[in-house]
Structure formats: structure tokens, C-alpha cells
Chains A and B, each alone.
Chain A
Amino acid sequence: MSILLRNIIRFAFLLLIQVFVLNKILIHQLVSPYLYMLFILALPFNLPRPVVMLLGFLMGISLDMFSNTMGIHAAACVFIAYLRPFIINVLSPQGGFETTQKTPSMTSMGVSQFLIYAAVLVFLHHVVFFILEVFGFGNPLYLMLKILLSTAASLILIVLYELLFFTKK
């Protein structure tokens, strides 16, 4: 399967999972998991940066259309799409990742490297998203708790997804 086709399928799959399953989940008004940004995390290493940002915008705006939060998801997605290369640069070994490993995943980056990569970007996404959604710092403790717990829930989902689809070599 070509990289392009795989990414198109992943786009649709993650969007549908997010809209129809994960958006219905809410635990104690605090934990609302998001998995759709895995699409941005798993784009190929060598994709030009403007393309990553545009794809992130597209993904965010499509989810916004379903959840009536015009622009909020898109802003968070563009933010992490912009920061993605920095994180990859920091985490990559000398000389970059092997060119045979085209997309970031547990097998190509190593489990701990990938977890740091995912955790940082997911956390940043949640910070931007929840600040824009709640729109106010009237209750900072609640906001922080919500960001941290949702990040944890999202990370668990991302690890599950990786184990399901990426571990085979």
C-alpha cells in the first residue's frame, strides 16, 4: 500500500473514530480523549513542513465541522504541525532516522523516543485546545486537571493504536 493511500485511509478512519466514538466519551467532565491528531504525528518524516501544516489545518477543520467548534481544533492542529519538526530534530539520533523508516512509529523511533514525541505534542495540542475551548482562566485548577487527565487518556489510546497497527515489522 502506498504511503499516500495509507495516509488517506488513516485520515478518514481517525476522523470517524473521533466523531462517532471518542466525542461521546466524557468521564466526570474532565477526561475527553482525542486520537485524531495521531494523523499529524504519523505523517512521513520527509514531508515538507508547509504540507504538514496544511494537512493539520485540513484535519482540524474537518473535525470542527462535526463538533461545531469552528477553528478550535484547527488552531491546535496547526500548532502541533508547526512544532513537529523541532521535536523530531531534538529526538533524532545522529544523522537522522533511517530513510527506510518513513513514518514516525514505535518501531522506527524506539518505544521511549516515540512516547516522548507523542506525549509532548499531545500535551501541547491539549493545552491550546482546552484554553481556546474554555476561553478563560477563571478556574485554572480545573483547566490544568482537564489538560493533564485528557493527555493521559489520549496517550493510552495512541499507544493502543500503535500496538494494533504498527508493531508488525
Chain B
Amino acid sequence: MRNLIIFFRRYFNFFLFLLLEVICIVLVFQNNNLQRSAYLNSANDISGKLYDKYNNVQYYFHLKATNDSLVAENTRLHNAVRTSFDSVVTGTGLKIDTIRQYSDDTLHRVIGTQVRRYKYFEAKVINNSVNKPINYLTIHRGSLQGIRPNMGVISSSGVVGVVRSVSDNYAVVLSMLSKSNSVSISARLGQGKEMGSVHWDGDNATYAQLKDIPKSAKVHKGDTVVTSGFSALFPENIPIGYVDTVMMSDKAGTSYNIRLRLATNFYNVQYVYVIENLLKDEQQRLEDSTYKLIK
């Protein structure tokens, strides 16, 4: 017993070293598992507030780029809005009640108008990285403002990522720029409608890979790749990127491996929109119960 104590005292430093390293490694493994919704640290109040202060200064230097992207988005929305279209039908008839159409009350069931499916929140990006194997954005909007984990996040030009963890006033978004098998976005070719999935290969923040596009698809440089709308995170037809180069995936050449230029410029993203899918739970429940039935 005495020898044991002497042994421990002599090698105390080494044991402390081992203990600390084990703590570190445990932390690494706990937090690098993307499936776990572990509490992420820059969502906490201290680092969130500091990033907010820092961003106030940094934001000023990006004002021009931010303005340009907002004007471009406004133009796009003006072009999409109903009053920009000239109705050819001049006869009297039913006019669609847009207020009712876009409301999210339950009356739509009675009247039979369209159901609101997506709700958008705007949020300011206060921290962003593009140079890590797994990148995160911190946004200034949290659970008090209606953000919950697993909501889709887009910018004015394209897909950004998925909300990972939330504190009262801040949220951390897992960026699309994450080199991991669990971050893949269900994508579709804008022209041919073929489906595939988008991954980031960890190399360059302006490019990503689109995989599983069948050889029968017609792909040209510059084609748009959009979200498929299957994942319940993003609505349909949100741009992900534009086709840059097309390669065969292997010798046999069964599918294409496409390099995409990402639609979102991750270097200067300042404002994002968080998307809440109001029907997500319903879809999830139905899908889960079906899987259970088949098992």
C-alpha cells in the first residue's frame, strides 16, 4: 500500500497529464459526433455577446456588399409578386383572397384555401467561419424568438445550413461547409429534375460536390442546382449552386460527379433567413409510423 502511494506520488505529473488528456479526448468525441445535439458553446451567452460586439464593428465594412445583395433580392421578389403579372382573364370571377391565403390560422380548413407551410425569420449573422473542416455560423436570434434546432437556414442567394443548437438569444447554425457524411443536402437539377445529394469536400469554400446524378441526365455548365423539397428542412427550388465541371464518378461511369459553384457566398454572408416548416411534425409522424408498420 505504501509503495503504491509512493508510486503515485512519484508519477503524479504523468497521471495528471493522462487524466487531462482523457478529459480532452472525451470532449472531442462527444462533440464531434454530429448526430448528437450536444450543446454548442458559441450559442452561450458570454461568447454570443462578445461575438455580437465584434460583429457590430466588422459589419460596417461589409455594408456595401450587404446592401447590394438586399437590393438584388428585392428585385427578385418584385418580379415574383402577383401585381407584376398581367392577368389575361378579364371576366368576373373568383379573386383569390391573398390575406386568407397567407394566414396561418385554422380557418383555411373551413374555406379550403392554401395551407401555410413555411414561415421565415430573418436573422443577423454575428460569427462565421469558412476555414475549418466543420464550420458554424452564430446568429443573433434564439429560442425566445422562435428558433428551434433542425430548422433550415438560407441566405438571400441560396442554402446556408441547418440550426444545430439554440440558447435564449443566439443560435448556432451548422454550415453547409461541413466535411462530414451526415451533412448532405437533397438536391435536384433545375433543368432535368434528376435527384442527387450535395456534399462539401472540405477544400474550397466556394465549391461543393453533387453526387448520384444518373448518366442519363443532361448537364451543362452553368445549370442551376436547387433543393428538392424532400427533406422538410428547405422549401423546393432554393438555389444551392451552379454546375461548374462534370466528371464521371468512376471507370464504369454509372453516375456523374459534378462540381458546383455555391450560390451563397460564405465569405460575406451577413443576413440569413431561418425557415420553419409548420407541417414538418405531421410529415415526420406519418413517415415514422409507416416505417414502423413495415418493420
Q: Is A164 an interface residue (CB 8 A)?
A: no
Contact A68 B42, beta carbon cutoff 8 Å = yes
Q: A66-B47, A71-B25, A72-B28 are in contact. Are A82 and B131 (CB under 8 A)?
A: no
A residues 18-71 near B (Cβ < 8 Å) are 19-20, 23-24, 26, 29, 32, 49-50, 53-54, 57, 60, 64-71
Which candidate, B9-17, B70-78, B145-153, is the interface stretch facing chain A?
B9-17
Q: How far is the CB of A165 from chain B (nearest CB, A)?
A: 23
Q: Is B246 an interface residue (CB 8 A)?
A: no
Most buried by A among B13, B30, B44: B13
Name B20's contact: one of A24, A57, A68, A70 (CB within 8 Å): A57
Chain A interface size range:
20 to 34
Q: Is A134 an interface residue (CB 8 A)?
A: yes
Q: Is B231 an interface residue (CB 8 A)?
A: no
Q: Is B191 an interface residue (CB 8 A)?
A: no
Q: How far is the CB of B14 from chain A (nearest CB, A)?
A: 8
Name A71's contact: one of B27, B44, B129, B131 (CB within 8 Å): B27
Cα distance A24–B131 when bound, in Å? 8
Q: Is B236 an interface residue (CB 8 A)?
A: no
Contact with A along B23-48 (1 / 0, CB 8 A): 11111111110000010111010010
Q: Is A75 an interface residue (CB 8 A)?
A: yes
List the interface of chain A (C-beta within 8 A of B): 19-20, 23-24, 26, 29, 32, 49-50, 53-54, 57, 60, 64-72, 74-75, 78-79, 82, 132-135
